[in-house]
Structure 1
């Protein structure tokens, strides 16, 4: 069984211009000056610079952008991030260290990035001119809405909602799973401003035959093929019609950053971040479960039954990942902190598909647990902040563990739960190391 990760293409070095052979002018093909200038202007190859020859430029398909340009532009769009760990640069994927997520509201420069394709040119330019959202399929009144119409025709709401990659924690599965080796930092909880998805769908008149939504964005495929879709996932119609499933254009009161989906994306709290389609331009209401790219095979799917680690699970026995498990994250102190003294203040966040009812912390490898102070969520699907003071009995090495429990009684396990081929849904307790003096 081949479990190579179709969600994660292999990366390239940040300065590599993939697929373009860069040689001297005298080695290149001869192209008439006038025609060459026109071609370069039309395709964007001119952006490589007048001093750089592009052999065979006359064969480059009209309307495409060179991969090397797109890759460099995506890294430029990533440049505002603060101390994130870059896991892959084609597409750009990066996570945030736990101690950098200490803010109650995650700032844009600390939010993780999970991309499947390239950042669209219009987003890089932060230009929404001519952009529209199409809502079609199993609806009575198909819609084509501008951004201004979304803002004026529907109630605008702001919610603080957790966004978490389904593969967060993948690095800890044994045996390992292929893909971005997320540790704990593929999560954040910014404020999102937009409209309820259900309001838009209701305006379109959802038919009784509706079963699922299919979401589409215009992020270019890594291959450069304009006919290929980078990712198109969707959600059950019941989830789409929930109050907190949103179509948003702002994060923390500002336009969505280019790399986070400008001008529009979905936010589907409680579900994997892969359902939060960036650069959204279409919602296709389906009468069947959506079958877009990254909906089938092993992508964002879990075994239908418990399996032993390393088991070869038949593709037909994989089911779509829906709700994310209860989880917590210690954000202070940072792991590796030395000489903390005997009285240690600990704080962090906890979240679930619903409310978290308690958080407990341990300093003796789970032999005893101390209940932490836990704040109520600002709104449904917002993470909850916890804090505790732990008295350490003597100098030495300690691990501080955090364990959250939700309203359904589910509690984080000490070890990785439910091994699966792609390493999804890891909600083991979060652990940090400290040295007490």
Structure 2
């Protein structure tokens, strides 16, 4: 049972629920009567629930907790704007805020390598300086087509200048109404709509805008999987408020919350199977924007003692208008006792 028809080994985590015994199955018609589903795009993540990735070169002196951030950092941290432009300049964060003003936007941060059903995603209300105003002030040359947001450690994925403008990118200085957190790249980070958080340079020190014939490293979750010849994790869906295998008390409502996201593709539906994929409860997601995540709530009632499996399958809309169905389904197993 560990080989496919072609003689290839299968990954245990993707097939184990097909062979494990003792999991109760509930058909979609019955399950839909036991489940109450809703969704929104406004859910904001608390700071302690945000994933973070340590800086790759992680010198010991870098900040990891907010108490390490100096009070006067806005007056001492400088951003240099250079390149193919008539008006290169350097400003402190405070000078940037005073000169260009700020806007507040609700943005999602979704890691490009977030595995199927994994939790490397959050949404925040961020306040930042619009990159568009900075570039207008810098008086770019017409052929300055490449934008480089560079971090203190040299981290940078350059993107087309047009992408930085289209995605309404910001230099983020506040998050959820507070100064930017240490673990999210304080004191200033680069963010944009739809882009993977792999594009979000932390501890930004330099913006360069140059002419380049090279490619744009804008990530929209396009993590290619040769098994399917398609995206590994796009669209993606997962449970964020409980762990697979969790035990819930019999007789009480089981409350689950989670996400659906596909970066730059709008989500059109989430399907749930309570019988290992034989039948599916379909929850349409209508008129969703790609600028925020889709956040869902599920209440389950009437589940008797036993073990259950929910299989999630998200669908988004490709740029060509065809459906993009999640290849690796999200498995969430839970116990009631």
TM-score of the two chains, using structure 1 as the length reference: 0.56
Q: 2:237 aligns with which of 318, 328, 340?
A: 328
Residue of structure 2 in register with 1:132 after alignment:
78
C-alpha separation in 2, matches of 1:289 and 1:258: 35
Superposed CA offset, 1:339-378 (max 9, x none): 555875543222231432222211112222212375876x
Match for residue 214 of structure 1? 148
Q: Deviations over 1:382-437 (max 9, x none)?
A: 1122234557786532211222222334444342xxxxxxxxxxxxx322111245
Unaligned runs of 5+ in 2: 1-41
* Matched-pair contact (CA < 8 Å) for 1:372–1:387: no
Q: Does 1:413 align with 2:326?
A: yes
The 1:301/1:363 distance shift into structure 2, 3 A limit, reads closer
Match of 1:157 in 2: 103
Look up the match of 1:357: 268
Partner Cα separation in structure 2 for residue 261 and residue 289 of structure 1: 30
Matched residue, 2:56: 116
Deviation at 1:159, TM superposition (A): 1.5
Deviation of residue 189 (structure 1)? 1.1
Task: Give the equivalent residue in structure 2 for 1:370.
Answer: 281
The 1:433/1:340 distance shift into structure 2, 3 A limit, reads farther
SS in 1 for 2:159: coil
- Per-residue deviation at 1:118? 2.0
CA drift of 1:291 comes to 9.1
Give the distance between the partners of 2:285 and 2:300, measured in 1 at CA: 15
CA distance in 1, matches of 2:111, 2:257: 22
CA contact (8 A) 1:189 1:382 kept: yes
1:403 aligns with 2:333: no
* Matched residue count: 279
Structure 2 length-normalised TM: 0.70
3-state secondary structure, aligned to 1:162:
strand
Match runs of 1:116-265 below 5 Å: 116-118=56-58, 121=61, 124-126=68-70, 127-128=72-73, 129-169=75-115, 184-219=118-153, 229=154, 231-265=155-189
Q: Which is bigger in relative contact order (C-alpha 8 A, separation at least 6)?
A: 2
User: 2:76 is paired with a residue of what secondary structure?
Assistant: coil
Out of 382, 398, 409, the residue aligned to residue 292 of structure 2 is: 382
Larger Rg: 1 or 2?
1
Equivalent residue, structure 2, for 1:45:
none
